[in-house]
Each structure stands twice: as C-alpha cells, then as structure tokens.
Amino acid sequence: MGKRLSKSDRQFIISAKLAGHAWSDIEAALVENGCTAGRETIRGVWRSSDEKKLNDSIDRIQEKQDGENRREVSMASSRITTVEDLVQFAQVDLTTWYIERHEINKWEVGAKSVERDLTYVDGRATGTIRSDGGLRVAPLIQIKLWLRRIKPVPVFPTIQPVFCTENFEMPEVVREAVQRSVILADPHIGFTRDLRTAELEPFHDRRAMDVALQVIQYVSPTRIDILGDFLDLADWSDKFTRLPEFVQLTQPAVLEGYWWLRQIRKVAPNAVITLYEGNHDERMRRAVLNNMRQAYELRAADEMDLPPALSVPKLLALHELGIRWIGNYPDGEDWLNGNVRLLHGNTAQVPGNTAKAVVSKADTTEIFGHIHRTEWCSRTQHLRDRIEVIEGFCPGCLCRIDGVVPGVKEKQQWGQGIAVVDYTEDRHNIAPVLISDGRALWDGMLFEGEDRTADVQQAYPDWNWG
Ligand SMILES: [Fe+2]
Ligand SMILES: [Fe+2]
C-alpha cells in the first residue's frame, strides 16, 4: 500500500502544476514515488492552494467599481512590474482618473525541475519523470491601484427644471344644461323732494344699478329675478309720518322704475325677467284695500286682461316689457329648480343673523331680499339616502346706504350687491357680486357704474331729477 500525500508531495503537485504539467504526468510521478494519490486528489490539492489563486489572477486585470467615482484595478504578473505598466496595460485614462494610492506585492513561485520521459498507450502513461531535486523560481508581482474620478459624477441627480409633457384636457362640459340667473334686490326706487328747489333726491343708487345692468349684459343670463321692494312708495304707508318731502313722488318713481326695466330688457332681450312683490311694493295694494276699496281690482274697460289700474305691475307697464309679476307678498315665490326658492322674504334680524334664522327653519335653499345686506349661511341635512346642503342667501340691496332711504338707521349696516346663480335641474352655485362705491370686482372684471341721471333726465325732461 502506497504512502499518503506528504507536505512535500503537496508542494510537488503545486509546483508541477505551476510549471504546466498535465494531471496524468503528476499522477504518474507520484505513483513512481510510491504514492497512492488519484488524479482527483491531486486536482483537489491544486485547487485549494494559494498559489492557484494567485496563478488564476496572473496576467488578468481585476476590476472593482465602487459607485461612479471610485474604482480598483489590480493585476498579478511577472511582466507588469510598475504602476505605469499597469496604467498602460489596463488603459486607465489619467485625464479622468487619478491614483489615490497604490500597492505592490511580490511573490516568488517555484517548481521542481523535472525531466519527463512519458508515453501514453490507451490512456495510460508509461515512462519516467525524474526530478533533480532543484526548483525553478519565477517572480510574481501584484500591483493594485485605487482610482478616484477627477470630476466626480453627482451622487444625487442635479436638480433640473420639470417639464410637464402631459396636456391637461378640459373635460367636456354640457353647457346647454346650465342656466344662469342674475338676482337683484331692493332698489327702493323713490325720492324725497327738496321743498325749496323741488329737486328730486333718489333713494335708489343709480351707479349700483348700472353695475347690475353691466353684469347682466356681461353674463347674458337665462333669467333675471328682481326680488322686490322695487319701488319704495314712501308716502303710501300710513305706518310712518308722511313728510311733505315724500308727497306726490310716485309718478317720477314709476317713470324711472320703468326706465330701468327697459334698460334691463334692452341688455337681456331674451331673458325671463321676474319682478317679485316686496313689502314696499305691497304698500299700494294695502293702501287701496284700506283706504279705497272701490279701486280694488279695478281695470279699464279695454285692459281687462292686464293687472288692476292702480297696481305696481300695471303702473310699471310690465306687460309691455314682457316681465312677469309675482305678487301676493309675503307668500309670493318662484323656484330656480326643485331646490332653490326665490322670494322677497319677511325675516329680519340683527346683522348676520337673518340668513342663519332663514336656513335653520328652511327645508330647501332660499334666496331672499329684504334685509339690504349680503348674508349667506348653510347647513347640511343628513337624509336617509343622501346628504343635502341648504343655503340661506341675500345678495344685498341696490338702494342707497348713506341714510337717505326712509327707515334706515345710521348704523343699520346695509350693503349693496347682486348675485349670479348658475343652476341645472338639481344643483346650483351662488356667486355674490358685492358693490361698493358704485363698483364691483367679479370674475376678473372691474364693473364701474355710471350715474345715469342725465339719461333719465333726457327720457323725462319735465322732472327736476337730482
Ligand atoms: Fe327693502
Ligand atoms: Fe323689504
């Protein structure tokens, strides 16, 4: 039985392999020396040797990249012996990289000097390998370079402007289904007269009313709703002391009221215009009932299909202008759709509280006048099958707010405004347009009201319009 592999046998295998001998030669040499190692054992010795690992790297460039900016290059060879050699051999571009540091290792590898005389017959080797006991020694040099990029590549991407390549496409809006109402309230058209000059001082604010006219022209509404107190009718009430300054002024109020309705009809020839009776307009109906029942519902013989002779709708000639009249204050009302009720209203509380009071008892959205202030309040109802938002809204008034209108207390905090309300069958959107000092800013537009006194004067020159 042959001996097992000794340390010197192992060294012999490694050296022989380094010298380029075939497995069969080495096996044969060992057998010759009385060793029993098979070819697989011999291969195993070689594979596990450090020299093999070194041998594997000989003349082969090893590269390791650490991110974009660092890199290691190494090589073991008997021919590449300097840093410059390696830079050239590995084609390191020194305009891009610089050598941060380097390392040089040197080994000496040896192999036994052997003389072989082998022949192979049918896969078997016969002959001899003779060793003279000496070693051939070859130097191996390993060079390792640590490189760093001269101009580092940013680790995080540089911030770049963002270009949005997506085009926003406007969803198709069914505009045909959307209707629009411009809502006006409380112009209180009427006058006080200067007892010395007989000049008429208006209660209504012509510049504010002109803004309303401009907005109507601008939005081309489907309908226009004038929520009452169109005329002030100061001397038709027996509730207050009727000052001589207020007497006999219904005629100019009717004339100017008609003039404004004509202007509205002119800028909105196809709109449905509706005038609602307010408590001030109702004064005439009430006065007839209380003081002149004989005139109640009285009509001229040729005007039987028109409103009563002494009534606001007849005096304003609404039939001529194609304007609807909704009387029966305070119950008279109309609807924009199934959810939005329009009326003059008869609730008035301290500033800020009316819309709240209206909405707390309403079962649907209510848009009302009467309080001469812009107020808006909403509440949400949680019903069995849906959630419903109910609003109470007053757009404000178109009468003067400087104290000239009878009944106004100095600090009543009135405010001017109108509203543009879009609506479909089942929804709506209120857009208030606040007016101050004869101007309104809305929808990116500045509406500047003009004082139309000269136009009214031209239409009716017999009166001393102020
Ligand atoms: Fe009013
Ligand atoms: Fe009113």
pLDDT grade for 355, boundaries at 50, 70 and 90: very high
Mean pLDDT score of the chain: 89
DSSP per position, 259-327: HHHHHHHHH-TTSEEEEE--TTTHHHHHHHHHH-GGGTT---GGGTTS--SSSHHHHTTHHHHTEEEE-
**Nearest ligand (C-alpha, residue 407):** 1
The pTM for the full model equals 0.66
Instruction: In whole angstroms, give the CA distance from residue 253 to residue 230.
Output: 10
Res 286 pLDDT > 80: yes
Distant-in-sequence, close-in-space partners of 247: CB < 8 Å, separation ≥ 6: 193, 235
State the average pLDDT over residues 203-220.
98
Ligand 1 centroid to residue 362 C-alpha, Å: 21
Ligand 2 centroid to residue 314 C-alpha, Å: 20
**Nearest ligand (C-alpha, residue 283):** 2
Label residues 332-358 b or e (16+ Cβ within 10 Å = b).
bbbebeebbbbbbbebeeeeeebbebb
- Percent of the chain exceeding pLDDT 90 equals 61
pLDDT grade for 411, boundaries at 50, 70 and 90: low
- Of 41-45, 46-50, 108-112, 202-206, give the lowest mean pLDDT range: 108-112
255 alpha-carbon distance from chain centroid: 50
Ligand 2 centroid to residue 231 C-alpha, Å: 10
Q: Is 271 exposed, middle or buried (0-12, 13-18, 19+ CB in 10 A)?
A: buried
Ligand 2 centroid to residue 234 C-alpha, Å: 12
Ligand 1 centroid to residue 186 C-alpha, Å: 5
Ligand 1 centroid to residue 369 C-alpha, Å: 7
Q: How far is CA 318 from CA 256, 280, 322, 325, 355, in A?
A: 13, 18, 6, 8, 30
State the average pLDDT over residues 254-276.
97
Question: Which pair of tokens denotes residue 87?
Answer: 């830079």
Instruction: In whole angstroms, give the CA distance from residue 392 to residue 359.
Output: 5
**Nearest ligand (C-alpha, residue 282):** 2
Ligand 2 centroid to residue 286 C-alpha, Å: 15
Distant-in-sequence, close-in-space partners of 466: CB < 8 Å, separation ≥ 6: 194, 199, 200, 201, 202, 453
**Nearest ligand (C-alpha, residue 346):** 2
Distant-in-sequence, close-in-space partners of 400: CB < 8 Å, separation ≥ 6: 202, 203, 204, 205
Q: How is the chain split among helix, strand and coil, in percent rounded to 5?
A: 25, 35, 40
**Digit-coded pLDDT (tens) for 106-157:** 877 665 566 667 666 665 666 776 766 666 666 778 899 999 999 888 777 6
Ligand 2 centroid to residue 184 C-alpha, Å: 13
Ligand 2 centroid to residue 345 C-alpha, Å: 7
pLDDT grade for 209, boundaries at 50, 70 and 90: very high
Q: What is the pLDDT of residue 141?
A: 86
Under DSSP, the state recorded for 461 is T
- Of 27-41, 121-135, 389-403, 436-450, give the lowest mean pLDDT range: 121-135
Q: Hey, what domains does the chain have and what are their CATH numbers?
A: 7-149 (no CATH), 175-459 (3.60.21)
Ligand 2 centroid to residue 354 C-alpha, Å: 13
**Digit-coded pLDDT (tens) for 328-352:** 999 999 999 999 999 999 999 999 9
Instruction: In whole angstroms, give the CA distance from residue 185 to residue 167.
Output: 44
pLDDT grade for 262, boundaries at 50, 70 and 90: very high
Greater model confidence, 17 or 316: 316
Contact 126, 118 (CB under 8 A): yes
Ligand 2 centroid to residue 232 C-alpha, Å: 9
Residues with CB under 5 A from ligand 2 (ion): 229, 278-279, 370
